Amino acid sequence: MVKIALSTLALVFLAELGDKTQLTVFCLAMETTSPWGVLIGAGVALLLSTVLAVLLAVAVHHLLPDTWTKWIRVAAGALFILVGVWTIWKA
């Protein structure tokens, strides 16, 4: 479990660098006199969104056969790549 936790930590940390959430938190913290409030609010929001994602993933995993979940992962990856290409194209 520790190996999974550490690899997830590394992957999510790298994925969040420069993300719109991080930029939003940066701007909020820069404009406030209570950066701890921003930290707590953003931390709880990220925790809740992660809990929701994990709970939905567990439900989908139990409801759908493994072949379907494989194709969902492939489709999600392809969509992620397409959005990246589209973003670069429009830049």
> DSSP for 3-39?
HHHHHHHHHHHHHHTT-HHHHHHHHHHHH-S-HHHHH
Supply the pTM of this predicted model.
0.69
pLDDT of residue 34: 93
pLDDT tens readout for residues 17-65: 778 888 899 999 999 999 999 999 999 999 999 999 999 989 988 998 8
Q: How confident is the model at residue 15 (pLDDT cuts 50, 70, 90)?
A: confident
